């Protein structure tokens, strides 16, 4: 049995239509996967940025925590000597050449008594950092 030309032509169009439909679906699916991959890259970049910010904040937190511990150690000495004299307005210390504020700690002036070799007391103004 050999089909006539009209049957062959009908099969040809049927398969051609299927191929075109599958090609469109493949193209759409590929486009969706590319979009998903691009979105994934944006998410990964944002995650990296957030991780860097977290690390910076954690380092700053550790520095502030260490500074607080140091201040806690010094405070009892100042209270014990009852020599704490706050300036008229609190001052913030700038760190060297970077111009960045150092940990944002308020400094309070205090009077520290030093004993000289003759036993007399001398005082000088100092600042806690």
Residue 70 CB neighbour total at 10 angstroms = 13
Same domain flag for 17 and 56: yes
What element of type H or E holds 1?
none
Same domain flag for 59 and 116: no
Query: Which residue range is the domain that position 43 belongs to?
Result: 1-81
Confidence band of 56 (pLDDT split at 50, 70, 90) = very high
Predicted local confidence at residue 92, as pLDDT: 52
pTM over 0.85: no
Same domain flag for 7 and 69: yes
Residue 96 CB neighbour total at 10 angstroms = 7
- Contact at 8 Å (CB) between 14 and 21? no
Q: What letter does residue 68 receive in the DSSP assignment?
A: H
Predicted local confidence at residue 2, as pLDDT: 63
Predicted local confidence at residue 42, as pLDDT: 98
Same domain flag for 66 and 99: no
Please give the structure tokens belonging to residue 67: 């500074």
Same domain flag for 5 and 48: yes
Predicted local confidence at residue 86, as pLDDT: 52
List, for residues 19-51, the tens digit of each pLDDT value.
999 999 999 999 999 999 999 999 999 999 999
Same domain flag for 98 and 38: no
For tokens 């706050």, what's the residue? Answer: 86
Please tell me the total count of domains within the chain. Answer: 2
Same domain flag for 34 and 11: yes
Same domain flag for 74 and 93: no
CA distance linking residue 11 with residue 5, whole number of Å = 10
CA distance linking residue 89 with residue 12, whole number of Å = 92
Same domain flag for 70 and 49: yes
Predicted local confidence at residue 25, as pLDDT: 98
CA distance linking residue 108 with residue 125, whole number of Å = 10
Same domain flag for 71 and 109: no
Same domain flag for 41 and 103: no
């Amino acid at each position: 049995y050999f089909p006539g030309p009209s049957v062959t032509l009908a099969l040809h169009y049927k398969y051609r239509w299927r191929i075109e439909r599958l090609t469109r679906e493949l193209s759409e699916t590929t486009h969706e996967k590319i979009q998903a991959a691009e979105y994934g890259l944006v998410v990964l970049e944002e995650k990296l940025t957030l991780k860097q910010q977290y690390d910076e904040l954690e380092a700053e937190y550790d520095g502030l925590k260490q500074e607080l511990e140091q201040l806690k150690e010094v405070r009892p000495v100042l209270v014990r000597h009852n020599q704490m004299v706050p300036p008229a307005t609190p001052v913030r210390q700038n760190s060297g050449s970077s111009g960045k504020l150092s940990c944002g700690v308020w400094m309070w002036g205090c009077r520290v008594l030093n004993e000289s070799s003759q036993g007399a007391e001398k005082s000088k103004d100092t600042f806690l950092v």
